[in-house]
C-alpha cells in the first residue's frame, strides 16, 4: 500500500471519530475523498448528495456521470484523479452547506490536500472556490488558471469550474463547463513548465 493512501486512511479514520460537524446527525455516513492519492489533480466539490450519502463515494449521481464523461474527453479516468468535497456529510435535502459546517470540515480538507500535494486543484462550483477565494465570483474566474499563495498550502495552482450539477440543467452552462474542463491538460502543462 502506498504511503499517501495510508496517510489518507489514517486521516479519514481520525476525522470519522472526531469531526464535530452538525451534519453528522442527519447524514448516513461520512463521504471520504476517493481516487488516486498520487494524482496531480484534485477536484473539490461542495458536499455529498443523496447517492453519495448512500454509497459513501463522492460524485456518483448524475453530476458524477457527467464528470466521468468530461474526464474521458481529456483522456482521464476516475482512477487517475482524486475527488473530494469541502463538507464530508450530506446537508439535509441537499441544501447548501452553512459556513460553520464548512468550518468544521475545513482542517480535514486541508490535511487531505497536504497529503496529496497536487499540482492542480480544480474547484467544482462556487462553494469550493469561495473556501480559498472568499471575495471572488465564479462567473469572473471560471476556466482561468490561478496561481496563488495560500496560508495553508503555500504556492498552489487552482482552476475554478462551474459545478457539473448546475450544468446538467442549464445548456449554456454545460457548454461553458465542457470548454473550461478541456483546459485542464493545458493548465497542467503550464504548471509543469513553470516548475522545470
Domain residue spans in the chain?
A: 3-188
Running DSSP on this structure, what letter comes out for residue 169? T
Cα 89 from Cα 105, distance rounded (Å): 9
Sheet containing 120-124: give its strands across. 34-35, 82-85, 41-45, 120-124, 154-161, 146-150
Quick: pLDDT tens for 108-131: 999 999 999 999 999 999 999 999
Looking at CATH, the fold of the domain delimited by 3-188 is given as Uracil-DNA Glycosylase, subunit E (3.40.470)
Contact 81, 43 (CB under 8 A): yes
Q: Over the stretch 40-60, which tens digit does the pLDDT of each residue have?
A: 999 999 999 999 999 999 999
Which residues lie across from 41 on neighbouring strands? 120
| Model pTM score | 0.96
CA dist., res. 156 & res. 147, Å (int) = 6
Q: Is the pLDDT of residue 169 over 90?
A: no
* Per-residue pLDDT, 1: 64
Instruction: Please check the confidence at residue 195 and state whether its pLDDT lies above 90.
Output: no
pLDDT band at 196 (very low <50, low <70, confident <90, very high): low
Question: What are the backbone angles phi and psi of residue 124, rounded to the nearest 5°?
Answer: -105, 90
Q: Where are the beta strands (DSSP E) in the chain?
A: 34-35, 41-45, 82-85, 120-124, 146-150, 154-161
Q: How many CB atoms lie within 10 A of CB 88?
A: 29
Amino acid at each position: 500500500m502506498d504511503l499517501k493512501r495510508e496517510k489518507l486512511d489514517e486521516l479519514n479514520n481520525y476525522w470519522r471519530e472526531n469531526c464535530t460537524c452538525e451534519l453528522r446527525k442527519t447524514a448516513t455516513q461520512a463521504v471520504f475523498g476517493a481516487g488516486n492519492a498520487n494524482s496531480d489533480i484534485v477536484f473539490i466539490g461542495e458536499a455529498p448528495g443523496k447517492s453519495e450519502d448512500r454509497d459513501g463515494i463522492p460524485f456518483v449521481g448524475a453530476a458524477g456521470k457527467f464528470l466521468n464523461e468530461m474526464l474521458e474527453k481529456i483522456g482521464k479516468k476516475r482512477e487517475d484523479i482524486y475527488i473530494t468535497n469541502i463538507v464530508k456529510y450530506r446537508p439535509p435535502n441537499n441544501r447548501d452547506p452553512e459556513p460553520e459546517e464548512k468550518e468544521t470540515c475545513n482542517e480535514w480538507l486541508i490535511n487531505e490536500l497536504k497529503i496529496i500535494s497536487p499540482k492542480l486543484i480544480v474547484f467544482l462550483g462556487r462553494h469550493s472556490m469561495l473556501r480559498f477565494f472568499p471575495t471572488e465570483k465564479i462567473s469572473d474566474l471560471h476556466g482561468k488558471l490561478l496561481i496563488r499563495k495560500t496560508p495553508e498550502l503555500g504556492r498552489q495552482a487552482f482552476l475554478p469550474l462551474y459545478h457539473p450539477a448546475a450544468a446538467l440543467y442549464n445548456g449554456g452552462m454545460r457548454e461553458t463547463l465542457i470548454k473550461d474542463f478541456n483546459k485542464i491538460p493545458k493548465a497542467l502543462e503550464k504548471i509543469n513548465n513553470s516548475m522545470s
